[in-house]
Structure 1
Amino acid sequence: MKLSKELLNGIIIFIGIGVYFLLINIFGFSDIMYLRYFNVFFIFYGINRTLKMKLAEGKINFASDSISALSTGLIGVLLSVIGLVIYSYIKGGDAYMEALPKNFWLGGNSSINVCIICTLIEGIASSVIVTMLLMFYWNNRLKTE
Protein backbone atom coordinates (compact mmCIF):
# COMPACT_ATOMS: atom_id res chain seq x y z
CA MET A 1 0.00 0.00 0.00
CA LYS A 2 1.42 3.33 -1.07
CA LEU A 3 0.84 6.29 1.22
CA SER A 4 -0.15 9.61 -0.26
CA LYS A 5 2.41 12.41 -0.28
CA GLU A 6 0.38 14.35 2.24
CA LEU A 7 0.06 11.49 4.71
CA LEU A 8 3.72 10.45 4.35
CA ASN A 9 5.01 13.96 4.92
CA GLY A 10 2.48 14.54 7.73
CA ILE A 11 3.90 11.46 9.46
CA ILE A 12 7.41 12.85 8.93
CA ILE A 13 6.31 16.11 10.59
CA PHE A 14 4.83 14.13 13.50
CA ILE A 15 7.98 12.04 13.98
CA GLY A 16 10.23 15.09 13.77
CA ILE A 17 8.21 17.07 16.30
CA GLY A 18 7.84 14.07 18.61
CA VAL A 19 11.53 13.22 18.62
CA TYR A 20 12.47 16.89 19.04
CA PHE A 21 10.23 17.36 22.08
CA LEU A 22 11.34 14.08 23.63
CA LEU A 23 14.98 15.13 23.23
CA ILE A 24 14.51 18.55 24.80
CA ASN A 25 12.63 16.85 27.62
CA ILE A 26 15.37 14.22 28.12
CA PHE A 27 18.13 16.83 28.15
CA GLY A 28 16.21 19.00 30.62
CA PHE A 29 15.55 21.94 28.31
CA SER A 30 11.76 21.63 28.36
CA ASP A 31 11.41 24.67 30.61
CA ILE A 32 13.03 26.94 28.00
CA MET A 33 9.99 28.29 26.21
CA TYR A 34 11.79 29.50 23.08
CA LEU A 35 13.01 26.02 22.17
CA ARG A 36 9.43 24.91 21.67
CA TYR A 37 9.04 27.33 18.76
CA PHE A 38 11.56 25.46 16.62
CA ASN A 39 8.94 22.84 15.80
CA VAL A 40 7.87 25.10 12.93
CA PHE A 41 10.98 23.93 11.05
CA PHE A 42 9.55 20.42 10.91
CA ILE A 43 6.34 21.84 9.47
CA PHE A 44 8.37 23.80 6.91
CA TYR A 45 10.26 20.66 5.97
CA GLY A 46 7.19 18.44 5.55
CA ILE A 47 5.15 20.96 3.58
CA ASN A 48 8.10 21.90 1.37
CA ARG A 49 8.74 18.22 0.72
CA THR A 50 5.14 17.74 -0.41
CA LEU A 51 5.38 20.71 -2.77
CA LYS A 52 8.69 19.49 -4.20
CA MET A 53 7.18 16.04 -4.81
CA LYS A 54 4.20 17.56 -6.63
CA LEU A 55 6.47 19.79 -8.72
CA ALA A 56 8.70 16.83 -9.58
CA GLU A 57 5.63 15.08 -10.99
CA GLY A 58 4.91 18.13 -13.12
CA LYS A 59 1.71 18.95 -11.25
CA ILE A 60 1.75 22.72 -11.13
CA ASN A 61 -1.63 24.01 -10.02
CA PHE A 62 -1.70 26.69 -7.35
CA ALA A 63 -5.05 25.64 -5.87
CA SER A 64 -4.47 21.89 -5.67
CA ASP A 65 -0.86 22.34 -4.53
CA SER A 66 -1.95 24.64 -1.72
CA ILE A 67 -4.61 22.15 -0.60
CA SER A 68 -2.00 19.36 -0.58
CA ALA A 69 0.46 21.52 1.33
CA LEU A 70 -2.12 22.58 3.92
CA SER A 71 -3.40 19.03 4.37
CA THR A 72 0.19 17.86 4.95
CA GLY A 73 0.63 20.40 7.73
CA LEU A 74 -2.75 19.60 9.27
CA ILE A 75 -2.06 15.86 9.26
CA GLY A 76 1.25 16.48 11.03
CA VAL A 77 -0.38 18.78 13.57
CA LEU A 78 -3.28 16.42 14.29
CA LEU A 79 -0.94 13.47 14.77
CA SER A 80 1.25 15.60 17.05
CA VAL A 81 -1.72 16.66 19.15
CA ILE A 82 -2.84 13.04 19.47
CA GLY A 83 0.71 12.15 20.52
CA LEU A 84 0.68 14.95 23.08
CA VAL A 85 -2.59 13.68 24.56
CA ILE A 86 -1.23 10.16 24.85
CA TYR A 87 2.08 11.36 26.32
CA SER A 88 0.32 13.63 28.83
CA TYR A 89 -1.92 10.83 30.09
CA ILE A 90 1.00 8.40 30.30
CA LYS A 91 2.86 10.95 32.44
CA GLY A 92 -0.10 11.40 34.81
CA GLY A 93 -2.77 13.51 33.14
CA ASP A 94 -3.76 16.77 34.81
CA ALA A 95 -1.36 16.08 37.68
CA TYR A 96 1.46 16.11 35.12
CA MET A 97 0.22 19.44 33.77
CA GLU A 98 0.21 20.93 37.26
CA ALA A 99 3.80 19.78 37.80
CA LEU A 100 5.06 21.61 34.71
CA PRO A 101 6.84 24.93 35.17
CA LYS A 102 4.58 27.98 35.32
CA ASN A 103 5.86 29.34 31.99
CA PHE A 104 5.11 26.12 30.10
CA TRP A 105 1.36 26.44 29.40
CA LEU A 106 -0.64 29.61 29.86
CA GLY A 107 0.74 30.47 33.28
CA GLY A 108 0.75 26.87 34.47
CA ASN A 109 -2.89 26.71 35.55
CA SER A 110 -4.40 24.74 32.73
CA SER A 111 -5.78 21.29 32.12
CA ILE A 112 -4.85 18.88 29.37
CA ASN A 113 -7.92 19.93 27.38
CA VAL A 114 -6.95 23.61 27.40
CA CYS A 115 -3.38 22.76 26.40
CA ILE A 116 -4.55 20.53 23.58
CA ILE A 117 -6.93 23.16 22.22
CA CYS A 118 -4.23 25.83 22.36
CA THR A 119 -1.70 23.53 20.70
CA LEU A 120 -4.19 22.62 18.00
CA ILE A 121 -4.97 26.28 17.26
CA GLU A 122 -1.26 27.15 17.22
CA GLY A 123 -0.51 24.21 14.92
CA ILE A 124 -3.31 25.06 12.50
CA ALA A 125 -2.19 28.69 12.37
CA SER A 126 1.43 27.73 11.75
CA SER A 127 0.38 25.28 9.02
CA VAL A 128 -1.62 27.98 7.26
CA ILE A 129 1.20 30.52 7.51
CA VAL A 130 3.88 28.07 6.36
CA THR A 131 1.68 26.93 3.47
CA MET A 132 1.16 30.51 2.34
CA LEU A 133 4.86 31.35 2.59
CA LEU A 134 5.96 28.27 0.68
CA MET A 135 3.27 28.64 -1.97
CA PHE A 136 4.37 32.22 -2.63
CA TYR A 137 8.01 31.12 -2.67
CA TRP A 138 7.42 28.32 -5.19
CA ASN A 139 4.99 30.39 -7.26
CA ASN A 140 7.52 33.21 -7.64
CA ARG A 141 10.35 30.79 -8.31
CA LEU A 142 8.44 28.97 -11.04
CA LYS A 143 7.43 32.23 -12.73
CA THR A 144 11.05 33.43 -12.91
CA GLU A 145 12.40 30.18 -14.36
Structure 2
Amino acid sequence: MKLSKEFYNGVIIFIGIALYFLLMEALHLSNVYFLRLFNIVFVYYGVNKTLKSNFAAGKTNFADNAISALLTALFGVFLSISGLVAYIYAKGGDDYIKTLSDTLLFVGSPSVMTYNISLLFEGIVSAVIVTFSLMLFWKKKYPSD
Protein backbone atom coordinates (compact mmCIF):
# COMPACT_ATOMS: atom_id res chain seq x y z
CA MET A 1 0.00 0.00 0.00
CA LYS A 2 1.49 3.27 -1.10
CA LEU A 3 0.81 6.32 1.04
CA SER A 4 0.16 9.66 -0.60
CA LYS A 5 3.01 12.14 -0.37
CA GLU A 6 0.69 14.52 1.49
CA PHE A 7 0.04 11.95 4.22
CA TYR A 8 3.67 10.81 4.30
CA ASN A 9 4.94 14.37 4.72
CA GLY A 10 2.17 15.02 7.28
CA VAL A 11 3.56 12.08 9.28
CA ILE A 12 7.04 13.63 8.99
CA ILE A 13 5.61 16.87 10.40
CA PHE A 14 3.99 14.92 13.25
CA ILE A 15 7.17 13.01 14.09
CA GLY A 16 9.25 16.21 14.04
CA ILE A 17 6.84 18.07 16.30
CA ALA A 18 6.43 15.10 18.65
CA LEU A 19 10.18 14.59 19.04
CA TYR A 20 10.73 18.32 19.49
CA PHE A 21 8.17 18.60 22.28
CA LEU A 22 9.34 15.39 23.95
CA LEU A 23 12.88 16.76 23.91
CA MET A 24 11.67 20.04 25.39
CA GLU A 25 9.81 18.08 28.09
CA ALA A 26 12.90 15.96 28.86
CA LEU A 27 15.10 19.08 29.14
CA HIS A 28 12.45 20.81 31.32
CA LEU A 29 12.08 23.58 28.76
CA SER A 30 8.38 23.02 28.04
CA ASN A 31 7.44 26.06 30.12
CA VAL A 32 9.50 28.40 27.90
CA TYR A 33 6.67 29.61 25.68
CA PHE A 34 8.73 31.10 22.84
CA LEU A 35 10.41 27.72 22.18
CA ARG A 36 6.97 26.39 21.25
CA LEU A 37 6.94 28.73 18.27
CA PHE A 38 9.71 26.75 16.57
CA ASN A 39 7.35 23.87 15.78
CA ILE A 40 6.38 25.87 12.69
CA VAL A 41 9.77 24.87 11.23
CA PHE A 42 8.57 21.26 10.94
CA VAL A 43 5.37 22.35 9.20
CA TYR A 44 7.33 24.46 6.72
CA TYR A 45 9.69 21.55 6.09
CA GLY A 46 6.90 19.03 5.38
CA VAL A 47 4.86 21.34 3.18
CA ASN A 48 7.93 22.50 1.26
CA LYS A 49 8.90 18.86 0.72
CA THR A 50 5.47 18.19 -0.81
CA LEU A 51 5.71 21.21 -3.09
CA LYS A 52 9.24 20.28 -4.14
CA SER A 53 8.05 16.75 -4.93
CA ASN A 54 5.13 18.06 -6.97
CA PHE A 55 7.36 20.38 -8.95
CA ALA A 56 9.90 17.62 -9.60
CA ALA A 57 7.06 15.42 -10.90
CA GLY A 58 6.02 18.15 -13.33
CA LYS A 59 2.86 19.14 -11.49
CA THR A 60 2.72 22.89 -12.01
CA ASN A 61 -0.97 23.63 -11.55
CA PHE A 62 -1.07 26.30 -8.86
CA ALA A 63 -4.45 25.32 -7.39
CA ASP A 64 -3.63 21.60 -7.24
CA ASN A 65 -0.35 22.33 -5.51
CA ALA A 66 -2.05 24.65 -3.03
CA ILE A 67 -4.52 21.91 -2.13
CA SER A 68 -1.69 19.39 -1.85
CA ALA A 69 0.27 21.72 0.43
CA LEU A 70 -2.74 22.44 2.62
CA LEU A 71 -3.55 18.73 2.94
CA THR A 72 0.02 18.04 4.02
CA ALA A 73 -0.12 20.71 6.71
CA LEU A 74 -3.55 19.59 7.90
CA PHE A 75 -2.47 15.95 8.14
CA GLY A 76 0.44 17.09 10.29
CA VAL A 77 -1.84 19.21 12.48
CA PHE A 78 -4.48 16.53 12.98
CA LEU A 79 -1.89 13.84 13.75
CA SER A 80 -0.09 16.16 16.17
CA ILE A 81 -3.29 17.05 18.03
CA SER A 82 -4.27 13.36 18.19
CA GLY A 83 -0.85 12.53 19.57
CA LEU A 84 -1.14 15.34 22.10
CA VAL A 85 -4.52 14.06 23.30
CA ALA A 86 -3.05 10.57 23.80
CA TYR A 87 0.00 12.02 25.57
CA ILE A 88 -2.09 14.18 27.90
CA TYR A 89 -4.29 11.25 28.89
CA ALA A 90 -1.20 9.08 29.43
CA LYS A 91 0.24 11.76 31.75
CA GLY A 92 -2.91 12.11 33.84
CA GLY A 93 -5.58 13.89 31.82
CA ASP A 94 -7.13 16.95 33.43
CA ASP A 95 -4.52 17.03 36.20
CA TYR A 96 -1.75 17.29 33.61
CA ILE A 97 -3.69 19.97 31.70
CA LYS A 98 -3.53 22.19 34.77
CA THR A 99 0.26 22.26 34.51
CA LEU A 100 0.11 23.01 30.78
CA SER A 101 -2.50 25.73 30.96
CA ASP A 102 -0.42 27.72 33.45
CA THR A 103 2.16 28.39 30.75
CA LEU A 104 -0.35 29.24 28.01
CA LEU A 105 -2.97 31.94 27.73
CA PHE A 106 -5.90 29.94 29.11
CA VAL A 107 -8.22 31.51 31.64
CA GLY A 108 -9.54 29.21 34.32
CA SER A 109 -9.00 25.49 34.07
CA PRO A 110 -9.65 24.08 30.59
CA SER A 111 -10.54 20.45 30.04
CA VAL A 112 -8.46 18.19 27.85
CA MET A 113 -10.82 18.63 24.92
CA THR A 114 -11.14 22.42 25.33
CA TYR A 115 -7.37 22.71 25.39
CA ASN A 116 -6.90 20.54 22.32
CA ILE A 117 -9.74 22.06 20.31
CA SER A 118 -8.24 25.50 20.80
CA LEU A 119 -4.84 24.15 19.70
CA LEU A 120 -6.56 22.51 16.72
CA PHE A 121 -7.95 25.86 15.59
CA GLU A 122 -4.54 27.44 16.05
CA GLY A 123 -2.97 24.61 14.05
CA ILE A 124 -5.47 24.97 11.21
CA VAL A 125 -4.77 28.69 10.98
CA SER A 126 -1.03 28.00 11.01
CA ALA A 127 -1.49 25.41 8.24
CA VAL A 128 -3.27 27.98 6.08
CA ILE A 129 -0.60 30.62 6.73
CA VAL A 130 2.23 28.19 5.94
CA THR A 131 0.47 27.07 2.77
CA PHE A 132 -0.08 30.61 1.53
CA SER A 133 3.44 31.75 2.34
CA LEU A 134 5.05 28.75 0.63
CA MET A 135 2.77 29.08 -2.37
CA LEU A 136 3.91 32.68 -2.70
CA PHE A 137 7.51 31.46 -2.53
CA TRP A 138 6.91 28.75 -5.16
CA LYS A 139 4.72 30.94 -7.39
CA LYS A 140 7.67 32.07 -9.47
CA LYS A 141 8.21 28.45 -10.54
CA TYR A 142 4.72 28.04 -12.01
CA PRO A 143 3.75 29.22 -15.47
CA SER A 144 1.61 32.33 -15.40
CA ASP A 145 -1.93 32.26 -16.73
1:124 matches 2:136? no
1: CA distance, partners of 2:33 / 2:108: 12
Asked whether the 8 Å contact 1:98–1:108 carries over to 2, the reply is no
Asked whether the 8 Å contact 2:54–2:65 carries over to 1, the reply is yes
Give the alignment's TM-score, normalised by structure 1: 0.94
1: CA distance, partners of 2:88 / 2:105: 13
Aligned to 1:45: 45
Give the alignment's TM-score, normalised by structure 2: 0.94
Report sequence identity in percent.
50
1: CA distance, partners of 2:123 / 2:100: 21
Query: Aligned-pair distance for 1:105?
Result: 5.0
Asked whether the 8 Å contact 1:97–1:108 carries over to 2, the reply is no
Q: Structure 2, unaligned stretches of length 5 or more? A: none
2: CA distance, partners of 1:127 / 1:47: 9
Deviation by residue 1:80-120 (Cα, 9 ceiling, x = unmatched)? 00000000000000011123362235146211111101110
2: CA distance, partners of 1:141 / 1:53: 13
Residues 105 and 19 of structure 1: CA distance in aligned 2, closer, same or farther (over 3 Å) = farther
2: CA distance, partners of 1:112 / 1:128: 24
**After the TM superposition, which parts of structure 1 deviate over 6 Å for at least 4 consecutive aligned residues?**
none
1: CA distance, partners of 2:108 / 2:67: 36
1:81 matches 2:81? yes
Asked whether the 8 Å contact 2:85–2:112 carries over to 1, the reply is yes
Q: CA RMSD in A?
A: 1.6
